[in-house]
Structures are given as C-alpha cells and as structure tokens.
Amino acid sequence: MATLEIKDLHVSVLTEEAPKGILHGVDLTLRAGQTHAIMGPNGSGKSTLAYAIAGHPRYEVTSGQVLLDGEDVLAMSVDERARAGMFLAMQYPVEVPGVSMSNFLRSAATAVRGEAPKLRTWVKEVKGAMSDLDINESFAERSVNEGFSGGEKKRHEILQLSLLRPRIAVLDETDSGLDVDALRVVADGVNRFRSENSDSGVLLITHYSRILRHIDPDTVHVFAGGRIMESGGPELAHELEEHGYERFAPKQEVGAR
C-alpha cells in the first residue's frame, strides 16, 4: 500500500543568473486509495512540485524530503523513481520521433514490471486500454506524440497510466487544453485507474475545477506562493470555482512556475 510523504520541501529552479526559490516548505502525505487535488493560480509552484518529485534536472531540492514507503525518492535517479512506482503525466508531453508508441509502451512496461510482458497478452491489454480511451489502433505505430493534437497527447498519457499501473501517479494539469469530450474521456480513464488500483495514490494538479466535476478528490490543497495555504474537502474546490484565488493572492510570490 503506497504512501508518499513530502516533508518541508524547498525547491529552487536553476536559471542562468542564479537559483531562484520556488517552493518554500511543502508538507503533504498521500496514501494508497486517496486522490489529492492541488489547485492554485498560475505561477504558484504547482508544476515545480511535480517536476521536483519526478527528478527534473532543472529543479534543485535545497532541503526537505520526499519518501515513498519510507524510501528516499530524492536519492533515486529518474529511472529508479519510475521503477519504484512513480509516474508523471506531463502538462506538455514531449514528442519522441522515430520511436513508435507500441515499442515505447512495451519498453516502459518491461522496465517497470521487471520482465517483458507476454506478447499475446500484451497486445490484448493495449488494445483494450486504447479502446477505453477512444484511441484509434493506428496510433500504436505512430511516433510518440509526434503530430498528435493536445487532446491526443493527454489521452496517451492516461494510456501509459493505465498500462504501467504506478503506485503514485502525479498528473500535472492533465485537463489543460482539452475540449469537453476529451476531458470526459481522460477523467473516465483516471477514475478507471483509481477503481482498479486501490493500492495506488493520485496527486492531481490543476488550475481549474472543471476536471473535479468528473473526478472526486478526497482532499483539495490550495497552493500559492510555493506553499500549501489551505487544505479541505471537495467543497474547497467549489469555493475556489465561485470566488477564485483572490484571498490567497497577497501571499503569492511573483516568479514561481
């Protein structure tokens, strides 16, 4: 049963001039079976948290801890974090020319599972997951995200989530740029993952509350100025939808990402 613990996390972004502090003491515990939503205005540091957890080289953890079942995540390389069960669905998925989706997915599954999935079973598994997300089977032989629309890229992020079955899934603004139909499909994919993987946890980072009309979080955190300013239940998201982030604005620090 996975548990992610973030303790007094401070993170700086590396710039040409000098490191710039973005996160200023983040504390959060996500347990198996839970979905936590992090909401906040642009520039509040939400994506910085996701990148720091994933091990992006541009983000430097200056103090604090990130633990997965007591193990030091920050001491792991990026691939070690993935094999340990960490997953990041990126806000802007990258293109990988020359690498087909089918090869990419099977290679990733092999790395995470520790052995190559049996081909016949794997093909059936991939086809089923693609069907659930309304992804045409022809996409399996296309290069990863190359020429994909924004909505297609996000669906393929959730396809990876479904097939890799991580212990902790960090979804960074997976709803951004989606139309109404794509949002529903993506949200259904996340909910399907939650129902089929009760021993996993989901950290959902979003700017808007619209995805939370489809995905019910256990806890909502308001992020501003690189800190969690307030935590509550789903009703907090409704309050933010109605009143926005104005009451948190005075404490927000300019320049965070």
Rounded CA-CA distance 102/126 in Å is: 8
The DSSP bridge partners found for residue 223 are: 228
Q: Give the CATH number, domain containing residue 13.
A: 3.40.50.300
pLDDT of residue 52: 96
- Residue 256 domain-assigned (yes or no): no
pLDDT the model gives residue 207: 86
Q: Is residue 257 part of a domain?
A: no
Q: DSSP letter for 252, please.
A: P
User: Mean pLDDT score of the chain, rounded to an integer?
Assistant: 92
Around Cβ 95, how many Cβ atoms within 10 Å? 12
Residue 112 sits in which domain range?
3-251
Residue 22 has pLDDT above 60, yes or no: yes
Q: Is the pLDDT of residue 256 over 90?
A: no
Contact between 30 and 66 under an 8 Å Cβ cutoff? The reply is no
**Per the domain annotation, does 238 fall within a domain?**
yes
In a domain, 122, yes or no: yes
Token pair 């990148």 is at which residue?
51
Kindly state the average pLDDT of the residues 141-166. Answer: 94
Higher pLDDT, 232 or 245: 232
Q: How many domains does the chain have?
A: 1
**Residue percentage of the chain with pLDDT more than 90:** 79
Among 144-148, 157-161, 246-250, the minimum mean pLDDT is found in 246-250
Burial (CB count within 10 angstroms: exposed 0-12, middle 13-18, buried 19+), residue 32: middle
**From the CB of residue 107, how many other CB atoms can be counted at a distance below 10 Å?**
12
- Output the pLDDT for position 42: 86
Q: Which helix (H) or strand (E) segment is 132 a member of? A: helix 119-132
Q: How far is residue 203's CA from residue 172's CA, in Å, rounded to a whole number?
A: 8
| 62-84 tens-digit pLDDT | 999 999 999 999 999 999 999 99
Helix (H, G, I), strand (E, B) or coil at 78: helix
Tell me, yes or no, whether 150 lies in a domain.
yes
Q: What is the token pair recorded at 243?
A: 């009143």
